[in-house]
Amino acid sequence: MTDRLPHTLRSDARDNRERILDAARAVFAAEGLTVPMREIARRAGVGPATLYRRYPTKEMLVTEAFTDQMRACQSIVDEGLADPDPWHGFCLVIEKICELHARDRGFTAAFMSTFPHAMDFAAIRAYSLTSVAELARRAKDAGRLRPDFVLDDLILMLMANSGIHASSPAARVAASRRFAALTLQAFHTSPASSPLPPAPRLVPGVSTHRRNPTGETDG
Amino acid sequence: MTDRLPHTLRSDARDNRERILDAARAVFAAEGLTVPMREIARRAGVGPATLYRRYPTKEMLVTEAFTDQMRACQSIVDEGLADPDPWHGFCLVIEKICELHARDRGFTAAFMSTFPHAMDFAAIRAYSLTSVAELARRAKDAGRLRPDFVLDDLILMLMANSGIHASSPAARVAASRRFAALTLQAFHTSPASSPLPPAPRLVPGVSTHRRNPTGETDG
DNA sequence: ACAGTAACGGACGCTGCCGTCCGTTTAGCT
DNA sequence: AGCTAAACGGACGGCAGCGTCCGTTACTGT
């Protein structure tokens, strides 16, 4: 067997890989993405070299560590989309995603593309966003979501949600929950609603804008 | 003259102090509070030792650099308080403070007490908050602000606002403006409004709670 | 003009993180 | 059991930011 390609990891290597991923997930959730690589290695009980061998860059590690979170995020959106009441589905999506982000400091940053380019799950992100756009369209048609809502508003609220800090994870989740509720109040149609300032352009690819009434330069 | 205390700075020292403060304000606004002290010294055209002599700790420099911003913040609140229409005043306060924070990355962090203890202008902050609380009370009495609004909601939105990032300052301001408008929609009374989850406890000193209907432990 | 001292800033040593090298260990196969 | 190569991890050099020391510069008051 001279030409066996290392498509399969040795048992100890596979074991270490798991431990690294577990440690990374735990510490990313608690501290965010800024933790030193060595700290993750330490918690995983491996040397730095082992960590770097498996994941030469932090971006790779992050991508791998958050793939399932990303999938969870997508299935939340799918659930919302499956809801017979689009506004109800929309609310669920907002609430659950906010909670997801509140529980995991790192995931927020990863989702927001703290790593600006080439995040592997950019595709999933884009797919989720278009799904939400569809859900939003339906909720608008049902007359429950304000007509001037655009997808960038969602990004905006997600960014805003990521700004919420608190002493404990529990407190952060509680704050985020209230924030989500307030956000939904803002998105809800209401006789008292007044026109909004122009929407920011935050997500270049997708768009719910059919038309852009203002000629404003956007950044 | 053996016992002259250095209550007065030498002319060059005073000059340097100004340049340091200017540089600090500029770079804090653009980059936030995380910039290295040396960077500020460099931009001010002084050596590191000079900077450290004048401001032994970054906290002191930040305090001094943002004192006027803090005062601006307070006068915004005073203006709002002086408005005959409390809801209108409330809106102005939210909008202007959000803009202030959007224009200055550093100020947000300073205001949010990134430096957890002993920020010198904690007093001003507290005063502003109680003023807003008063304004909120009036706006509630006028039936325009939702009755379950609490001061912590304001902190919450300010934190959230600080989470808004963008490629350019202009884009950030635009996004923040829309965010403020959405926030006000959420705070506005509306026949369609539904009850909110329990308020987080974010600002220990002041409170608009007269009673706390939920027995929830708050973090 | 000069003395005296306030103020300056280059240079230093420290710490923490980074990414890599290389001698050692150990799983996997016969 | 023994061989081989995969995998490991301690150790290294490099870099960036920190806060301080101390020899030099230049205001200020006589």
Q: Which fold has domain B62-207?
A: Tetracycline Repressor; domain 2 (1.10.357)
Q: CATH 1.10.357 in chain A, residues?
A: 62-207
A13 near B CB under 8 A: no
Q: Which of A148, A150, A156 to mutate to test the interface with B (most CBs of B within 10 A)?
A: A156
- DSSP letters, A69-107, are HHHHHHHHHHHHHH-SSHHHHHHHHHHHHHHHHHH-HHH
Compute the distance between CA of residue A34 and CA of residue A108 in angstroms, rounded to an integer.
Answer: 12
* Nucleotide whose C1' lies closest to the alpha carbon of residue A14: D7
Give the phi and the psi of residue A145 in degrees, each rounded to 5: -100, 135
Distance A205 CA to D27 C1' (A): 61
Higher local confidence (pLDDT), A72 or B195 = A72
Tokens of B179: 């965010």
Q: Which fold has domain A1-56?
A: Arc Repressor Mutant, subunit A (1.10.10)
pLDDT band at A209 (very low <50, low <70, confident <90, very high): very low
B177 near A CB under 8 A: yes
pTM for this one? 0.88
Compute the distance between CA of residue A181 and CA of residue A174 in angstroms, rounded to an integer.
Answer: 11
Distance from CA of B103 to the nearest CA of A (A): 14
Q: Which pLDDT belongs to residue A2?
A: 37
With contacts defined as CB-CB under 8 Å, which chain B residues touch A112?
A: 165
| A59 neighbors A115 (Cβ within 8 angstroms) | yes
CA within 13 Å, CB half, B114:
17
Tokens of A23: 């440690």
The answer to whether the C-beta of B36 is closer than 7 A to strand D is: yes
How confident is the prediction along chain B (219 residues), in pLDDT tens digits per residue?
Answer: 333 445 789 999 999 999 999 999 999 999 999 999 999 999 999 999 999 999 999 999 999 999 999 999 999 999 999 999 999 999 999 999 999 999 999 999 998 875 555 556 778 888 899 999 999 999 999 999 999 999 999 999 999 999 999 989 999 999 999 999 999 999 999 887 778 899 888 765 554 444 444 434 432
Strand D: which residues 11-40 of A lie within 7 A (CB)? 12-13, 16
Q: CATH 1.10.10.60 in chain A, residues?
A: 1-56
Do A197 and B181 make contact, defined as CB atoms within 8 angstroms?
Answer: yes
A159 near B CB under 8 A: yes
